[in-house]
Amino acid sequence: MAQRVQVILEDDLNGGSADETVRFGIDGKTYEIDLSSDNAKKLRKSLRPYVENARRAGGTKQRRTRQVSSRRQSAEIRAWAKAQGIEVSERGRIPAEVMEKYESAH
């Protein structure tokens, strides 16, 4: 038997049909609101003077630095992974997910 699930967004301001979910933040808190196109335009228009004169904070992804481990530590991680039944190669880079599991276990 097939099932069809339908999600209908309602405008959080007036209960009518919503066209989009708008995310915004203030005072360190992030909010989401479902709005019709008209109400979304009104919200954006009312915030425009503040956004145009503000500095952007955060919002850019920081580059992750690759974790480099010593040969001794790599050997310990490989031995631990094998004892846990996790398959790792004898040489080369240890997958990040294996490193994360090792770190959370120790």
Mean of pLDDT over the chain: 86
Residue 83 lies in a domain: yes
26 and 50 share one domain:
yes
Q: Which residues are within 8 A (CB) of 48 and not within 5 positions of it... i.e. 6 or more apart?
A: none
12 and 48 share one domain:
yes
Residue 22 lies in a domain: yes
Q: Residue 94 sits in which domain range?
A: 71-105
50 and 14 share one domain:
yes
In what helix (H) or strand (E) does residue 31 lie, and over which residues does it extend?
strand 29-35
20 and 49 share one domain:
yes
Quote the pTM value. Answer: 0.51
Question: For the segment 33-72, what is each residue's pLDDT rounded down to a tens digit?
Answer: 999 999 999 999 999 999 999 998 876 555 555 555 677 8
CATH number of the domain bearing residue 19: 3.30.60.230
Considering the chain, what percentage of its residues have pLDDT values greater than 70?
A: 90
